[in-house]
Amino acid sequence: MKYKRPPDFTFLMCVLILLCFGIVMVFSSSSAWAYYQYKDSLYFLKKQLLWSLFGVIAMVYFINFDYRKIKKVAFPLLLLNYLLLILVLIPGIGVKINEARRWIGVGFFSIQPSEVAKLALIIYFSSYLEKRMDTIENFFKGVLPVLIIMATTCGLVLVEPHLSATVVIAVLTMMLLFVAGMRFTHILSLMVIGAAVAIKLAYGKEYRVRRLTSFLNPWEDIRGKGYHIVQSLFALSSGGLLGVGLGHSRQKFFYLPEPQTDFIFAIIGEELGFIGAVFVIIIFTILIWRGFKIAINSPDVFGKFLATGIICQIAIQFLIHVAVVTASLPVTGMPLPFISYGGSSLIMTLIEAGIILNISRFTEA
């Protein structure tokens, strides 16, 4: 099948706008910490520019790579997923930062296996569900194999530990099963089980309990448990309607932890105000809408699942990031897609954008 049209222009423009905007905000939010830590205010900017270059090259490649061929490597990618998630747990291979072993160091670049796992599972589940559409209502034949793969992957990610990635993978899997036509009774049962597991995990570690209680009442201990949330809310409230001005954030001067990654939306709200925050939300809304439209118009079932899975992942991460920054969810490490600082996340998200844009080339509209 030949390409019917150029890549979806609206989706592509949203990606490029968010990418360019993210580069500016990474520099603005990280310059103070970069100078203090590395004596180079451009440290994070230079690395983000390099990763953006690699990511754009990868995106362009996948825009011109027939997405249907990806189906052939679905199972090898699943095996690679397990291999990387096991390797990252081995001392000497996995890089330990802040009591978490989430990265594999390769020279100056670190790979985060959980980011690879998301795309690997989307591709494998898309291929699997395409073949098992007629058995998806049967729990043991259609649903259980997917849940086993999801559970083993989540288990390995949780050992790192990386709770936010675990949540994304679990929710993403459920959304794909829902789209595939899983029975409502199965969905309801799994939601109950999932809620019980989530509560167990939330109260399984002391630091998670602290995060949960601080989310419920961050003002109770603003110098301790509620520090992250309170500083984030200070940043957003300081921005007002138009913000304090690009580059003029006060919270980035060692008040707000991780301003270039997990709390970059708070810096956006502070520097660009309500208008800037709404601008970002609008661009993401358009991106997600176009992504679902591409999925609906995909010429085959595999393409529909693939595009749906990718856009759901982007939507979930966007919603969690904004919810954490606005104190609507407990604090958890979740980068803002295309915007937050980070190599693995940025490159993998741009690859996913390239796959969706390639699918759009086969659609009628």
Residue 364 has pLDDT above 80, yes or no: no
Q: Which two tokens stand for residue 35?
A: 């100078």
Q: Which of 225-229, 329-333, 345-349 has the highest mean pLDDT?
A: 345-349
Least confident range of 106-120, 125-139, 214-228: 214-228
Cα end-to-end span (Å), the chain: 16
Q: Are 359 and 306 in contact (CB under 8 A)?
A: yes
Q: Are 57 and 49 in contact (CB under 8 A)?
A: no
Q: Where are the domains of the chain?
A: 9-360
Alpha carbon distance 240, 231 (integer Å): 15
318-321 long-range contacts (CB < 8 A, ≥24 apart) are: 318/284, 318/288, 320/164, 320/167, 320/168, 321/262, 321/265
Q: What angle do CA 40, 44, 46 make, to 5 degrees?
A: 85
Alpha carbon distance 327, 330 (integer Å): 7
Residue 52 has pLDDT above 90, yes or no: yes
Q: What secondary structure does DSSP assign to 55-85, as a single string?
A: HHHHHHHHHTS-GGGGGGGHHHHHHHHHHHH
- pLDDT, tens only, 313-328: 999 999 999 999 998 8
Least confident range of 193-197, 236-240, 272-276: 193-197
Percent of the chain with pLDDT over 70: 92
Q: Give mean pLDDT, residues 138-147.
A: 86
Q: Give mean pLDDT, residues 299-313.
A: 94
Phi, psi of 361, rounded to the nearest 5 degrees: -70, -15
